[in-house]
Amino acid sequence: MPVDNDRDHERVIFCVSDHTGLTAEAYAHGIISQFDKITPIYRSRPFSDNADKVAAVVTEVNRVAESGARPVVFSTFGDRTLQEQLDGSHGFVIGLFNHWMDSLSEVLDAKPSRQVGRSHGIVDTVQYQLRLDAVDFALQTDDGLGTDHYGRADVILVGVSRAGKTPTSLYLAMHYAIRAANFPLSPDDHSESGLPTLLQPFGDRLFGLTIEPRRLHAIRTQRRPDSPYAELEVCRSELAYTERLFRAEGIPVIDTTTRSIEEISTTIIKQAGLERRA
């Protein structure tokens, strides 16, 4: 009987926390993605903030361990007792906070608060408001809208339709409270030479997005099948136009073809030297 290699390399990965579990998830995805061979099956168990809830997770981990490959458990607990309870499971447990807490405590000359599921109070209210304002800004100035607000923009993303401008603007707003507008460079602009008049006062805040023609064709086809808008030749021509424009105007540019929204956003922050507000 042939070995079922795919199933052999499936592995259940738990992310457990007494809070959102986002740190454990980010860490798990980051380190597990280093292992090409492994097909991870993620199970998130956030807000496991008392002994009963952790006991339920331990039972689940042990059940997986009994029935197949040993599961890997990434965890972040403020509460050491809950972490130790989880450590008693039959999974391979990586207690992300606990492991470095003592040495970090020494270096920082401070004691951790060990609160369960910390909430952050006043600082978060300010941060929340900054992010909310930035999201509002991104929505107001999405896709060429609200150009009268451009004076307040930290960055204005430009590029052809479906190059990734909207999700990037929203990500920059949501995560960093950066005010990102976005403006589509559409076929109508082709007649103009150089930058559309509206954008000219903001040359130093522009950031270009580009994408490979075939990928753009695929994205547009999914959106409007068989439309002229989605034709490969139209995609090629629009992209050639915007790339010429970016070069001529010295606009920095990122190719979004094989990049995630996170990669696009962090690259823009770094290259444009944007300041994070949150």
Measured from the CB of residue 190, what is the shortest distance to a copy of itself in angstroms?
25
Give yes or no for a contact between 155 and 197, defined as CB atoms under 8 angstroms apart: no
Of the candidates 271, 251, 257, the residue with the CA atom closest to the CA atom of residue 196: 251
Measured from the CB of residue 200, what is the shortest distance to a copy of itself in angstroms?
28
Nearer to a copy of itself, 1 or 122 (CB): 122
Nearer to a copy of itself, 99 or 190 (CB): 99
Report the distance separating Cα 206 and Cα 208, nearest Å.
7
Nearer to a copy of itself, 27 or 241 (CB): 27
Nearer to a copy of itself, 34 or 67 (CB): 34
Measured from the CB of residue 204, what is the shortest distance to a copy of itself in angstroms?
22
Q: How far lies 251's CA from each of 206, 229, 275, in Å?
A: 6, 25, 19
Measured from the CB of residue 164, what is the shortest distance to a copy of itself in angstroms?
8
Q: Measure CA 250 to chain center.
A: 27
Q: Which residue in the block uniquely carries the two structure tokens 């073809």?
A: 257
Nearer to a copy of itself, 85 or 127 (CB): 127
Measured from the CB of residue 38, what is the shortest distance to a copy of itself in angstroms?
6
